[in-house]
Structure 1
Amino acid sequence: MESMELSSKEKIELRRFWRIIYKKLSQPSSPADKHTGLLTGFLATTEFASVQDSHDLVEYCGPNLTVKVADVITFAHEFKSVYPDTFPEKKVIKAARMAATFSQGNTWNGIVETTSSMIFSTSKRFQELAKDTSGEMRHVVHRTVQKYLERALDVVADRLKCNLKDPDMPSYLKTNIDIAVDRLMPDVKLEIFRKTQDLFVPEVTNLLTEEKMSVDTNVVKKPSLYLLLRAKILYHLFPYDKSIWMSFKDTWWLIFTTIGLVPVVGQLWWLFLFIIKDKTDEHQLCQFIIGFKSAQFFTLGLLATATGVMAYIRCIIFGSMELCHEHGPGLETWGVFFFILQIGLVWTAFFRLPYTVAFNEAVNIKQIPKPALPESTEALQVMKHLPVDARRLSIPKSTADREPTSSILSHFRGKAYRDIFGNTLHLDRGGYLMKFCGYETICLAIISLLSCVILWYPFANWQRRALFYWLRTTYGVMSFPFLIFKVPVLTTILLHTKRMGYNEHGDTVCAVAASNRTDSTIAT
């Protein structure tokens, strides 16, 4: 059977071939004499050939479908005409005849058993090797993929610069385009590298989720009313297993979100959310800052502007100056208190951000056991059956060799500092959101300077109230740049955080991608 071993490309084509035969012969009301129809037309009109090659062939096709050897030979000739370079026609015909010889009837089982052993032989051997060398091999392959991805992304960046420029464009715009692309590409590379790392090491991504969602059946604690309320609010507002589109269908999500937009109650609501949220997680604290500043733009900015304009229009319609003094737009004493509370809440969140824990650090704290080196004789024998390119990926000899050598990852590996109390802080937490702290500082300085001018100048009481009202409105409008973090794609690139959410118990866990959600999870 050594002559029946297939290459990786031949295995893919062979899987596709058996599935197409199954689809062709299992069509209802299809006469047997039409089984020899043109396979090329079938390939062009069906999506069956696009089924992922990772499906189990035996489970997909089933054990009861029968097929004649003559039909297999006919289909093999036609399939060879479509894929002349990669399809192993002779091996397929030989396997079909062997299956017919060793079985009592011309059953599909004989063909599947013969060919499936050839298809999965190499993959099973690699899985046995992966039991001993999974961690080491993944580090090697991941580092190799990173190297080629970084080169490809550099080419994409150069082409993007050329496509964005115009011959008649001013030179300073061309220079700014180059600067913008050069500054943005490292962030794009970092997120792509993180995605590839999740593909190569999927169990590390779900480690924190699985551990926090595991329930100890021996210890049953009755949660308090506060914990039940906290879990309900956080799970409906920031669920780990729902997208934003699924949250739109959640009545509780709509109610809780609307409360945050109410002018007076919303300010207390955001204070309550800040108290109950997990302030040790980087992603959750970033989402709080972004959500709070976005709410300020809509409530203190747009809504306050519309309210003030309507108040002035009412003064004009009634033509009374006294009415404008009493009922015109103005900021009361309690409004000033809530305004200061909002500013203090934002700055508290910004000051807390460098002390948060990133997801990858939370995983490293768990001290994942390192896989053992492949010292067994069986693993060494399996290495002989691997392709030459796979054997060239030698296992690193030291722990230092396992670390990614990408300049992008080393560029974003922030340096830790110590405060005066000995606590560790990272100034790179939150990505570009931390840089917006400087923008928030400028806004606060402008508001503070104008407030001092209003208090110093001898304005009338109603004039001072109106000026403070529009000063607060200006501060709300200046929150507009934070809306850029609400764009789904830009959020990932600008924040560099792992998306986290809350489960039904109020625990912070990893968010589940839509493709990985179970049917029961989606149903709930």
Structure 2
Amino acid sequence: MYPKYNENNNQIKLQENPFEQYKQYQTQIKIQQQIPYSEDNLNQIVLSQNPLQEFQEYQKKQTKENKKENIIVIKKQKLYIFLILNNKQTKKIQNARKAINQINTIKKDLQNEDQKGNNNFQQQLINQKNNINIWIKLKVEQQIDNLLSKAKSLVKRKIKDPQMVLIQKKKKIIQIKSQCVKQLIDDAVDIDWPEIEDLVKIRIRIKEKQQIEKIQEIKQSITCYINPWYIIRSWYLYTDQPYNKSFWLKIRSFSWWFILLVKLFPFYGVQSFLHIIIFLFIDKSDEWQLFNYIIQFKKVQFFSIGMSGTLIGYALFFNCTTLNDYSSPQDFYKCKTEGPGSKINVIIDLLGFLLQIALCWLSFLIIPFSKSKGIAQKESNEYQNCCLKINLEKGGRFKNFLFLDMIAFFFCIGILMLFIYTGNDLKKEIWQYYQAIYLVKTIYGLLSFPWLLFLIEKILKSITKAEETGVIFILYYIYIYNTFSYIYIFLFFKKV
């Protein structure tokens, strides 16, 4: 079976083995059918001499390309599977986190509820304990009130003498009942008895039914101990108001007498400016120190301005009138040059005097804002203002003395105005104004005599319930020694 010759198979040549030639022809036909032809490469395709090898190479290329495509497809599939799995895993992680957060919130809620339950239980225990304490205090207070009420009548009976008013007549003792004296004793006991009850209750510590405010002292830093201001302040306060010295022990100190003489010195406004410095020294938040400052100022004012001013003024007038021999024309003007008030510095003296009075009144005004540091202070006695707490019980009776002092001050101002705007000759000389100012100051000092009543401790306790406070001893001389030691060491190392 030999192939026929035609135009399409002109490349085929007869060989010695026609079977091999036919086999090659069939393979070429298969190759031409499998190779994708296009118009671009149609003219380029030419059957080679070894079409089988070319077909094998083509298959290898195709397998490589198919492998690459398969690898890309597999990678894409893996990436897609990874993304799907990752998305599922992230969802699982998110769900797990949500579950953990829910578990934590449940735990916190349980802990908070447990804590609230414990707090409520503890608060109930505290309230029950406080109620029991209050009940016990009330019962104890009732018993003490009963004892004090019984003791009141007993004290009245013990004070009264059964033989108070007696008349002896011929070996017979006739007792006359004096209802007036007995009533006076009863009134005195009735007046003082509430204070006695308060002191007893305060000492036993059962009067406070509400929360007591604890007074916290501000600790000074170590730099304050080498500050000259704090050294002088501690020296004065411990000399004048020590916590561990009585009056008889204070007068043994040279510093106490030195301060007293400076307070009594009436010239050049020394006494006035000393009290200004004292106002800066004291603790303005302590009720007792404010009371003590006012009382000391008024007592010293009576002696230094009132009594000493009267004696000095009388001595100067006696010198310029009675002891004056009038031997020269200048002697007739001796009271003008050497009379009372002729040697004073009006600006310094008046400024210090008025500032001293203003500080005294300021101390009156800040007493309601102070604290009774000597005793416990009930919170119920205070109410909150916009800025401070005001105690309504402080300075109650003491305000009457403030009004008394203001009346005395304006009375003296009226005398001065009367002198200035009255008289035959309104054009007065300057020395006359000096003497008028000296007279007004002396009268104001003498009008401070009611303050001498506070020398009696009983009267002072009836005005205020503030307990006396003192200043803790401070070794100021040690601080001075340390200061000079530091200075010496500094200079020594500087030289080296």
Change (3 A) 1:328 1:250: same
CA distance, structure 2, for counterparts of residue 176 and residue 464 of structure 1: 53
1:310 corresponds to 2:323: no
- Secondary structure of 2:470's aligned partner: strand
Report the TM-score when normalising by structure 2. 0.54
Q: Determine if contact 1:138/1:200 at 8 Å carries over to the other structure.
A: no
Cα 1:360/1:275, change in 2 over 3 Å:
closer
Answer with 1 or 2: which has the greater Rg. Answer: 2
Does the alignment pair 1:343 with 2:357?
A: yes
Letter in 2 for 1:145: I
Partner of 1:110: none
Hey, what's the Cα distance between the residues in 1 that align with 2:411 and 2:203? 47
Say whether residues 1:233 and 2:242 are aligned partners.
Answer: no
- CA shift, 1:470, in A, is 1.3
Q: How does 1:88-237 map to 2 (within 5 A)?
A: 137=136, 140-153=139-152, 182=187, 188-201=192-205, 223=225, 224-237=227-240
- CA drift of 1:238 comes to 0.4
Using the TM superposition, give the Cα deviation of residue 339 of structure 1 relative to its aligned residue in structure 2, in angstroms. Answer: 2.3
Match status 1:270 vs 2:275? yes
Higher relative contact order (CA 8 A, sep 6+): 1
* Structure 2: stretches of 5+ with no match in the other structure: 1-131, 166-178, 326-330, 476-496
Q: Secondary structure at the match of 1:241?
A: coil
Q: Which residue of 1 aligns with 2:337?
A: 326
* TM-score between the two structures when normalised by the length of structure 1: 0.51
Whether the aligned pair in 1 keeps the contact of 2:384 and 2:390 (CA below 8 Å) is yes
Shift of 1:244: 1.4
User: Where does residue 255 of structure 2 map in the other structure?
Assistant: 252
Kindly provide the amino acid, as one letter, of the partner of residue 200 in structure 1.
I
Which residue among 393, 416, 420 is the counterpart of 1:451? 416
Do 1:150 and 1:189's aligned partners in 2 also have CA atoms closer than 8 Å? Answer: no
Q: Which residue of 1 aligns with 2:106?
A: none
After TM superposition, list the pairs within 5 Å mapping 1:479-518 onto structure 2: 479-505=448-474
Tell me, in whole angstroms, the C-alpha distance in 2 between the residues paired with 1:492 and 1:503.
Answer: 23
SS at match of 1:239: coil
Contact kept? 1:290, 1:486, Cα under 8 Å: no
The alpha carbon displacement at 1:278 in A equals 0.4
Aligned mates of 1:482, 1:328 — CA distance in 2 = 30
Contact 2:156–2:185 (8 Å) recurs in 1: no
Q: Is the partner of 2:323 in helix, strand or coil?
A: helix
| Aligned match of 1:286 | 291
Flag the 1:361–1:501 CA change in 2: closer, same or farther, 3 A: closer
- Structure 1 unpaired stretches of 5+: 1-132, 167-173, 366-412, 507-524
CA distance in 2, matches of 1:440, 1:181: 32
Per-residue CA deviations over 1:185-219 (Å, capped at 9, x if unaligned) read: 566224322432354239x9xx9999759x89xx8
Cα gap change, 1:193 to 1:423, in 2 (>3 Å): same
Q: Distance in 1 between matches of 2:186 and 2:440?
A: 36
1:295 aligns with 2:300: yes
Cα distance, 1:146 vs. partner? 3.2
How has the CA–CA distance of structure 1 residues 185 and 471 changed in structure 2, closer, same or farther, with 3 Å as cutoff?
farther
| Identical counterparts, % of pairs | 22
- Deviating above 6 A after TM superposition, structure 1's stretches of 4 or more consecutive aligned residues are 133-136, 157-163, 174-181, 207-211
RMSD: 4.1
State the 1:158 CA deviation: 9.2
Name the counterpart of 1:512: none
The whole-number CA distance in structure 2 between the counterparts of 1:474 and 1:178 is: 39
State whether residues 233 and 281 of structure 2, in contact with CA within 8 Å, keep that contact through their aligned partners in structure 1: yes
Instruction: After TM superposition, give the deviation of residue 505 of structure 1 in Å.
Output: 4.9
Alpha carbons 1:417, 1:426 under 8 Å: kept = no
Task: Supply the AA of the counterpart residue of 1:256.
Answer: I
- Residues 180 and 433 (structure 1 numbering): CA distance in 2 closer, same or farther, change over 3 Å? farther
Equivalent pairs counted in the alignment come to 313
Check conservation: 1:142, 1:200, Cα contact below 8 A.
Answer: no
